[in-house]
């Protein structure tokens, strides 16, 4: 994607982001004088990106679940109203149902049946959305985390002089023995 801060021709930009189309992997790197600052900025940016995308996915699916739940409740209320209205017609007629009231009661029963079918579909969709919400997989996974630069071991001056002395002694001894062997071979 490019060098973000410092311009496209900057030698060492503060932030650079890359994307490998074959693997679908983003590469984020910060370059500062302080390696700890670079690592912390990288970690914070990754966290913000991950939270943003995960919350947007979860928020959309949670909104879908909430809408489906509201629809299910609304349809259930309509079914109850239609059923009570049909029962009320039957109660008022005292078993003597006129054609007009009978037709109205039948229509209310059919509407309640249709609404029950619609409620079953909404509940099925609600359960699928709820399962989908519970099975949300993160979009961003951190594959490799930056490591701090290796710090050289700081040996003491005494150890350095001692090692140098031993190495010099061994080199001088090798030279002396080699010269003696050479002189003996040439003599």
pLDDT by residue, tens only, the chain of 187 residues: 445 555 555 566 677 777 788 877 778 787 888 888 888 888 888 888 888 877 777 777 888 889 999 999 999 999 999 888 888 877 776 656 566 666 787 888 899 999 999 999 999 999 998 888 777 666 666 677 777 776 766 778 888 899 999 999 999 999 999 999 999 988 7
| Global pTM exceeds 0.75 | no
The terminus-to-terminus CA distance of the chain in angstroms comes to 74
Which are the contacts of 138, defined by CB distance < 8 A and separation ≥ 6?
50, 54
Beta-bridge partners for 30: 15
């Amino acid at each position: 994607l490019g060098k973000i801060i410092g311009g496209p021709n900057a030698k060492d930009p503060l932030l650079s982001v890359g994307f490998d189309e074959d693997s679908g992997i983003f590469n984020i790197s910060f370059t500062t004088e302080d390696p700890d600052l670079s690592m912390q900025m990288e970690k914070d940016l990754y966290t913000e990106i991950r939270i943003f995308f995960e919350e947007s996915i979860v928020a959309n699916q949670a909104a879908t679940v909430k809408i489906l739940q509201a629809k299910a409740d609304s349809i259930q209320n309509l079914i109850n109203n239609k059923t009570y209205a049909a029962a009320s017609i039957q109660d008022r007629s005292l078993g003597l149902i006129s054609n007009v009231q009978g037709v109205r009661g039948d229509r209310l029963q059919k509407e309640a049946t249709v609404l029950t079918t619609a409620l079953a579909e909404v509940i099925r969709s609600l359960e699928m959305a709820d399962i989908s919400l519970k099975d949300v997989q993160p979009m961003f996974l951190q594959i490799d985390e930056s490591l701090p630069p290796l710090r050289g071991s700081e040996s003491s001056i005494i150890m350095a002089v001692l090692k140098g002395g031993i190495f010099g002694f061994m080199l001088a001894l090798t030279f002396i023995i080699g010269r003696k062997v050479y002189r003996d071979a040439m003599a």
